[in-house]
Amino acid sequence: MKKTIWPGALTSYLILVISISLLPAIPCPAQPRPVNYKLEVELLPPAASLLAKETLVWTNLSQDYIPDMYFHLYWNAFKNELSTLAREARQEKYFKRYRTKEEAWGWIKITSLTTADGHDLLASATFISPDEPPNPHDQTVLRIILPEPLGPGQSIKLNIEFQAKVPRNGLRTGHYKDGFFISQWFPKPGVYEEGKGWNCHEYHLNSEFFADFADFEVRITVPSELVVGACGEEIKKAEDRSAGKTTYTYAQENIHDFAWTASPRFIKVERWFKGEEEVSPEEYQQMAELLGVDIRDIKLPDVRMILLIEKQHRHQVDRHFRALKAALKYYGLWYGPYPYRTITMVDPPFRTGSGGMEYPTLFTAGTSVLLEKDVLTPEGVIIHEFGHNYWYGMVANNEFEEAWLDEGINTYSTGKVSAVAYGPGRIPARFNGLPLSQLFKLPAVYDWQLGRVISSPVAKLDSVLTSSWNFYNSGSYSLNVYYRAATSLFTLERLLGEKTWARIMRTYHQRYRFKHPRTEDFIQVVNEVSGQDLNWFFQEFFYAAKDFDYAISSVETRIKPEKYRGIFDDLPTVSPEHDRETTNQTAVSKKDKSRQKIYETIITLRRYGEIMLAPGYNLKLKVEFEDGSIDWKEWDGQSRWVRFYFEKPVRVKRAVLDPDGLWLVDTNLSNNSYARRGPTTKIMSVTTGLFWLVQNMLITMSSWL
Amino acid sequence: MAAISFLKSGFNRAGQKFKLSVYLWLIIMVVCLILVLPVNSQIRTSLGHLSWPEHSLMPFELNLVEIFLVNQNLLASYFIFFLVTILLSALLAVFLSGGLFGQMIDPVDRVSFSHFLAAGCRYFGRFLLSLVLFIPFLAVFFIVFKLLSAPLNLWSARAVSERPVILAGWLSLVLLALLWPAFKVILDLVRIFIVTEAKKVTASYASALKFLERHFFQLWGLYLLVTLAVVVISGIWLAICRLLSPARPGSLLVLILLGQAFVLFRLLARQVLIGVEYSYFSIRKDS
């Protein structure tokens, strides 16, 4: 056995040494990390189970004396129908993201939990339900009592042994036959917050995760025919040919989660991202000027890109790498260089329910065998999930409580990267797995365009800053924290300008890299860098469930009568502004003896939404007349409506409220403009198309009846 | 007699009575107007004065999505209206089938709208009953379909990659398309018996099933041949339409005309099918 292992181990060691020496030195910030993990796990595919040992060293970095520890045991969410996750999933009416199935249960069971000196802590362990409403049946949070309170700076070493059953097609993790995606699989302590205690929530349907930064060393043993990928770097590979097993050792510093995958149908492809090749000197220069930083600070390091792709998708290898390169480039340039040596991109094993998910230094995308060229799938997912290395991975907010801080910011960032790297992507039309773009050419759109439209209905349902398990439903959760939050950020960008916004985002990222910021921290950076008090913006668009909708309610035009009927005094009363406008026009009409028609136009603007502009902000109204002249008006938006009066010898051709499109967060942009001649051809096209479809439906029906 | 002569006979009969397709086209158009006008009205109200500059903030299709999302309450009401109209249209479809079969089988070449309506009234009750009695056949159809598609579903369920899933899905659809005519031909034949022999519905079912004992595969084959021709011509039509862009008013007009030509083609195809079935029936009924 040793004979077979040694040559492999030696080779692995040599590869490791050579690889490390070839890799550029990237500084991983040496901040104190409260957790250190050493994990050993063996995957038993026939039973779809794990046998594992965990050695955990946890250090109290607070000034508190801590009597207990809370652990996440996420897989118990898949244990039965009474878990918090299963209960929440049952309440979903329309889109069920998770369904319990008899043969699909998953669980985790700690078989031994002792301190370094052998003190058994399992006997006193209890499951708790920290969230409201409490669920006594949930077993996703375990509390253990420490032998004695842990003082400031003290560490505790725990030895844990556990078994786990991989859920079949769980949520974000699972297996299908011999394909496995393993995440949230080991007992993981919550985050201790000084003065507040443990922040350790149950596993909810809509919530993702929150954990402390840690150093990981993980040994994964699997049948040798499985191809493995994991977070961090593979530092050792040892094959036991007699047992038909291979043990992979992965290590990574300064990450807060560890996921891995194994499947016999993976192809492993490696390529390099080379900063000097991907970014031109001009681009570095422009970016340095935009951000106001030294060009040396934004130089991008080389990164080893690893792709694990299902054999059936091998023809899409280039598409995957192109998207990842774009993401590495733009996230790196805008927010800061990617600090790890590797990034692993996984096309998740078929039917494991694990696509489109992020883990530090590893993410899952997901694709289809039949793809259109102009539909940005899987590109959009790749960019988004990689981007989570920045928003969640490095800037590690609490996803349970403030999911928008990673999902919203990252959706915004994805939209930016997709736009600059690809332009708009076509909305996919598929039936039964077959792309139908040759039949139905749906429009090409930017992410922000689609995002702002689909998120408008939930503006009044929940606030963006609702705890993830307290949203009305999954739809409200995702539309609010992803798209409404992103739309609000796009709005802020347009209000503050590209340069200021770029500096805000970079400052926020740099300041909170490898930390756990809260919403207040983000607001503080926005205010600080912009030099403005934008608290009102966040109050209205993030903390409150309100809508923002200003509109051109009506445009009424009539020919001004030559004479008005009635009794008039010699000195009519008019407003100074009105007086000025009419005096000018009167002067013109006196000069031009031939009488010409004068049109009186009244444009009414209304505020349908509850949110009103803050003092100091105005909405612009641009009015174009048929003779090409343009009038501008401004409205502070405080009242529910306002009317503007125009007298011109020509009619209004077009009026646009907010013509620069600053307020993307407006829930209905379709009522922001008026044109004498609307998009008749487009309306005709839509209506006749619909008419034709209904005709055919009726013919089909009549031929069947 | 070769299949081609049945097809030819059916085609001739449909050609002689092309007016029937025009009647159907007009009636269906009225129903469509009832269904589409509220949507059109909503679109015109919300977007009729939309300023549509060259560089718009978003594609027009998103404006459409936006106004329907904003007016979700109206959408819910409209959905109920749509369903009720469709249910009423189902009754109308039975009536139209009466008119269509009555006139197609009538030995007199000339057709008129009043005769078409009269035939619709004459056969409405029996055609409706024939439809109700067809429900057990529908149940059998679904059972047979489930049984035949079971291996495909199993293949799909056990797949470890996506291709078998897609393939199984499409093969199931092909199976459905092949199987449906096998059952639909029963209902058509029952109606031919009702019209030609003025029989009661149950008696027509008995006669139709007896006739099919000997002629099922031939009739099914003829049905599939006509369907295949419709599919091929539809594909060609679609390819032609794809060459035109609806963004320009001229192209839009051509597209509208092509669209209506396709609708008329489908109605005519239905006539041809009835003609082919009747032609087969009339020649083979005594054999």
Which A-chain residues 232-291 have CB contacts (< 8 A) with chain B?
265
Interface residue B86 vs chain A (CB under 8 A): yes
- DSSP strand pairing (A619-625 vs A444-445): unpaired
B65 contacts in chain A (CB < 8 Å): 453-454
Domains A1-262 and A550-564+575-678 agree in fold? yes
For residues A42-55, average pLDDT: 97
3-state secondary structure A248-265: EEEEEEEECCCCEEEECC
- Chain-chain contact of B162 with A655 (C-beta, under 8 angstroms): no
Looking at chain A, which residue has its C-alpha nearest residue B157? A351
Name the CA dihedral angle for A188, A190, A191, A197, rounded to a multiple of 10 degrees. Answer: -150
- CA R_g for chain B: 23
Q: Is the peptide bond before A34 cis (omega within 30 degrees of 0)?
A: no
Q: pLDDT at residue A13 above 60? A: no
Spatial separation of the C-alpha atoms in residues A655 and A684, rounded to whole Å: 22
Q: Which pLDDT belongs to residue A8? A: 41
Per the CB < 8 A criterion, the answer to whether B196 and B280 are in contact is no
DSSP state of A649: S
Q: pLDDT at residue A298 above 80? A: yes
A699 contacts in chain B (CB < 8 Å): 28, 263, 266-267, 270
CA A604 to chain B, closest CA, distance in angstroms equals 14
Q: pLDDT at residue A614 above 60? A: yes
Spatial separation of the C-alpha atoms in residues B10 and A139, rounded to whole Å: 71
User: Does a structural domain hold residue B3?
Assistant: no
C-alpha distance across the termini of chain A, in Å: 74
- Chain-chain contact of B89 with A701 (C-beta, under 8 angstroms): yes
Q: pLDDT at residue A131 above 60? A: yes
Per the CB < 8 A criterion, the answer to whether A605 and A550 are in contact is yes
- Lowest-confidence region among A47-51, A88-92, A192-196, A202-206: A88-92
What predicted TM-score, i.e. pTM, was given to this entire model? 0.90
Identify residue A511 by its one-letter amino acid code. Answer: R
Instruction: Tell me which residue range forms the domain holding B40.
Output: 13-45+58-284
User: Does a structural domain hold residue B4?
Assistant: no
Cα A690 to Cα A405, A685, B52, B249, distances in angstroms: 41, 9, 21, 17
A670 contacts in chain B (CB < 8 Å): 46-47, 50, 63, 66-67, 70
CA B35 to chain A, closest CA, distance in angstroms equals 8
- Chain-chain contact of A661 with B162 (C-beta, under 8 angstroms): no
Q: State residue B194 phi and psi, 5-degree precision.
A: -60, -45
Q: Based on the structure, what is the number of domains in chain B?
A: 1
CA A577 to chain B, closest CA, distance in angstroms equals 28
CA A226 to chain B, closest CA, distance in angstroms equals 14
A657 contacts in chain B (CB < 8 Å): none
Looking at chain B, which residue has its C-alpha nearest residue A624? B51
Reduce the DSSP state of residue B134 to 3 states and report it. Answer: coil
Q: pLDDT at residue A435 above 50? A: yes
User: Does a structural domain hold residue B254?
Assistant: yes
Which B-chain residues 254-283 have CB contacts (< 8 A) with chain A?
255-256, 259-260, 262-263, 266-267, 270
Reduce the DSSP state of residue A306 to 3 states and report it. Answer: strand
Walk across the sheet containing A362-364 and list its strands. Answer: A266-273, A303-310, A342-346, A362-364, A357-359
Reduce the DSSP state of residue A182 to 3 states and report it. Answer: strand
For residues B240-247, average pLDDT: 77
Q: Which pLDDT belongs to residue B6? A: 87
| pLDDT confidence bin for A580, thresholds 50/70/90 | low
Going by C-alpha positions, the residue among B218, B223, B226, B220 that lies closest to residue B269 is B226
Q: Which pLDDT belongs to residue A592? A: 56
Q: Which pLDDT belongs to residue A582? A: 52
CA B151 to chain A, closest CA, distance in angstroms equals 18
Angle between helices B60-70 and B19-47 (to 10 degrees): 80
Interface residue A676 vs chain B (CB under 8 A): yes
Q: Which pLDDT belongs to residue A367? A: 94
- Chain-chain contact of A679 with B60 (C-beta, under 8 angstroms): yes
Percent of chain B, pLDDT > 70?
A: 97
Q: Is the peptide bond before A659 cis (omega within 30 degrees of 0)?
A: no
Under 8 Å CB-to-CB from B168, ≥6 apart: which residues?
B152, B153, B155, B156, B159
User: Does a structural domain hold residue B145?
Assistant: yes
For residues A573-588, average pLDDT: 53
Q: What is chain A's mean pLDDT, rounded?
A: 91
CA A687 to chain B, closest CA, distance in angstroms equals 6
User: Does a structural domain hold residue B53?
Assistant: no
Spatial separation of the C-alpha atoms in residues A111 and A105, rounded to whole Å: 19
* CATH of segment(s) A1-262: 2.60.40.1730
- The residue assigned the tokens 């007896």 is B210
- CA R_g for chain A: 30
User: Does a structural domain hold residue B72?
Assistant: yes
DSSP state of A391: B
Q: Could you state, in order of their start, the residue ranges of all structural domains in chain A? A: 1-262, 430-543, 550-564+575-678
| Chain B interface disruption, residue of A674, A683, A702, most B CBs within 10 A | A702
Q: Exposed (0-12), middle (13-18) or buried (19+): which is A416, by Cβ within 10 Å? A: buried
Going by C-alpha positions, the residue among A183, A184, A224 that lies closest to residue A202 is A184
Q: Which pLDDT belongs to residue A86? A: 93
Beta bridge partners of B198: none
- Lowest-confidence region among A7-21, A502-516, B83-97: A7-21
Spatial separation of the C-alpha atoms in residues A297 and A337, rounded to whole Å: 9
Percent of chain A, pLDDT > 70?
A: 92
Domain A550-564+575-678, classified CATH 2.60.40, yes or no: yes
Walk across the sheet containing A35-44 and list its strands. Answer: A107-115, A155-165, A49-59, A35-44, A214-223, A245-255, A233-240
B48 contacts in chain A (CB < 8 Å): 678, 683
**Which range in A101-110, A322-331, B78-87, B96-105 is most confidently predicted, on average pLDDT?**
A322-331
Q: Which pLDDT belongs to residue B197? A: 87
Spatial separation of the C-alpha atoms in residues A299 and B275, rounded to whole Å: 76
User: Does a structural domain hold residue B8?
Assistant: no
